[in-house]
Amino acid sequence: MESYNSFKTAQRQIIEAAKILNLDEATTQLLSEPQKEFNFSLHVKMDNGKVKIFKGYRIQYNIARGPAKGGIRYHPAETVDTIRALACWMTWKTAVVDLPLGGGKGGVCCDPKSMSLRELENLSREYIRTIAPFIGVDKDIPAPDVYTNPQTMAWMMDEYETIMNNHQPGVFTDKPTQVGGTEGRRDATARGGVITVREACKLLGFDPTKKFAIQGFGNAGQRAALLHHELLGGGKLIAVSDSRGAIYSPDGFNSKELVMHKLKTGSITGFPGSKKIPHEQLLELDVEVLYPAALENAISINNAKNIKAKIVCELANGPTTPEADLILNKKGIHVIPDILASAGGVTVSYFEMVQDKYSFFWDEKTVHQRLDQKLTNAYHRVHEAVMEKKIHPRLAAMVVGIARVAEACKLRGWV
Q: How many CB atoms lie within 10 A of CB 236?
A: 18
- Catalytic residue check, 105: yes
Strand partners, 334: 311
- DSSP bridge pairs for 43: 53
Q: Which residues pair with 142 in a beta bridge?
A: 70
Round to whole Å and give the CA distance between 308 and 351. Answer: 36
Q: How far apart are CA 276 and CA 71, in angstroms?
A: 33
Q: In angstroms, rounded to a whole number, what is the distance separating the alpha carbons of residues 362 and 351? A: 9
| Strand-pair category, 211-215 with 236-242 | parallel
Out of 105, 236, 310, 374, pick the active-site residue: 105
Which residues, including other chains, have CB under 8 Å from residue 77's CB and lie 6 or more apart? 1, 109
Cα torsion 188, 83, 87, 293 to 10°: value is -30
Q: CB within 8 A of 28, min separation 6: which ones?
A: 14, 15, 18
Q: Which residues are catalytic?
A: 105
